[in-house]
Chain A
Amino acid sequence: ELKVEQNPLFLSMQEGKNYTIYCNYSTTSDRLYWYRQDPGKSLESLFVLLSNGAVKQEGRLMASLDTKARLSTLHITAAVHDLSATYFCAVDRNSNYQLIWGAGTKLIIKP
């Protein structure tokens, strides 16, 4: 059974600092997704990672995938308040969009 674990589940940090959110999964998969959710809102796609060693960056966010270690990271550089949200990773179980989701990391960035 595929399990997806995110760490930490809650993160409070200061603006300007760097931090990393981790997403571990338990069985082989070749597709991993990162999403952002603002309070009371829908989910917004951030990154789609399809292969080992994939790295994608958008603004202050950078995501990477290590399929051998079954680990993805979402790195935040010089955090700003607007990045406060809950971040989810999701792993495709069978390459047919049966996604298994992590519990989410609630990120609060203080001025």
Chain B
Amino acid sequence: EAQVTQNPRYLITVTGKKLTVTCSQNMNHEYMSWYRQDPGLGLRQIYYSMNVEVTDKGDVPEGYKVSRKEKRNFPLILESPSPNQTSLYFCASSFDLTGGLGYDSPLHFGNGTRLTVT
């Protein structure tokens, strides 16, 4: 089954304790991205990766890191989590959208990771 898999689904941690949220897709997608969702704010992009060679900041990258060592995986790393990073996080993927294949492809989302930092 074609899907984007995030782990864990739920995570409770304490301030300053490094954590990683994993994201893997099995659709051979070039593009991957991380979002956070907060009530009343919609989704805000944290980082995105056009392909394994290109990764860039989104709108709210502070406090986060990402890695794209291979096409299928795009982990989100919080080196020193703080309570303001308590949120619902989504990983998403799609084809390369720079005018080639998949120009009209939507994003495919994972099931989300609900993170609480105390």
Interface residues of A (CB under 8 A from B): 4, 33, 35, 41-45, 48, 50, 88, 90, 95-104
Contact = CB atoms under 8 A, between A and B. Distances in A.
Interface of B: 31, 33, 40-45, 48, 50, 58-59, 90, 92, 94, 97-98, 103-112
Given A88-B43, A98-B48, A103-B40, A42 B90 contact: yes
16 contacts: A33-B106, A33-B107, A35-B106, A42-B110, A44-B109, A45-B108, A88-B43, A97-B94, A97-B97, A97-B107, A98-B45, A98-B48, A98-B58, A99-B107, A102-B42, A103-B42
B50 A43 contact: no
Nearest to B4: A42
A45 B45 contact: no
A60 B118 CA distance: 43
A97 to B, nearest CB: 5
